[in-house]
Amino acid sequence: MDTEDQEPTLSADETVMLAAFEGWNDAGSAASAALDHLATWWGAREHAALDPEDYHDFQVSRPTITRMASGDRVVSWPGTVLSTADPEGGPRIVVARGIEPSMRWRSFCAEVLDHAEDLGVTTLVTVGALLVDVPHTRPLPTFVTSEDEDARDEFGLERSDYEGPTGIVGVLGHEAQLRGIRVLSVWVGVPHYIAHPPSPKATAALLTQLERLIGVSIDLGELPDEVDAWQRGADELAQEDDEIADHVRQLESLMDETSLPEASGDAIAAEFERFLRRRDGGTAK
């Protein structure tokens, strides 16, 4: 392929932070699973762990107890870990992976971004997943947006027009931009009628989009088999529930008619509105 025909990618000379957090921004655990996969595939090394005492309500995000092979019991606390990796042929990667904090979001973002600046991060890619009205039988939509004009020009992106409640990735991206760090936002849509995790098809869609941005090959490992199993389970669910089956057919018909173009800012805003209505049981504010 000629260089001029290649898709633009992040420069191999820069340091890129990928950030995803369990919770409100992570439908089907798709985003956190994507970063876990990358951290494992690239052999990421822990750089820092934020003290969970500062940011978490442990009655909301409870610690877990496990028993080691030695017989000892270990308590694992919810929190955020930053790790680094150097994929061959690509930029240096910093992975910020954790649970959406319960409190002190501005302090949390400041601490994460202090580490980012110490590591020389020039681009932050926030990764999220939301519930959308799409059928599981079709490719799941991914959205990539940026507030940075140069990034929009370089990657052919749009600016999100969404206004409303946001999660920690939205706040982190805003604070990073104020520090002069370029921010890209990557989202995947998860079928709302199969919202429970895991959602390997959504995770695979995110990894495919991240592979394009980063410009290095990502081995999906056993994920394709997990996608097949998830697809069969979703098919069985539709076969056993006439209401879901009718809904899937309606979504398929709508997608076939519209071809579901890449989401514009207005489309993303509309999906968030629908997500909030389902989440809160009323009209989003």
- Average pLDDT per run of 10 along the chain, which is 285 residues long? 63 95 95 97 96 92 90 90 95 96 97 98 97 91 93 92 91 97 96 92 96 93 95 91 87 74 50 53 40
Predicted pLDDT at 280:
56
Distance in angstroms (rounded) separating the CA atoms of residues 283 and 142: 25
The CATH fold assigned to 11-280 is Rossmann fold (3.40.50)
- Per-domain residue ranges of the chain: 11-280
Predicted pLDDT at 263:
44
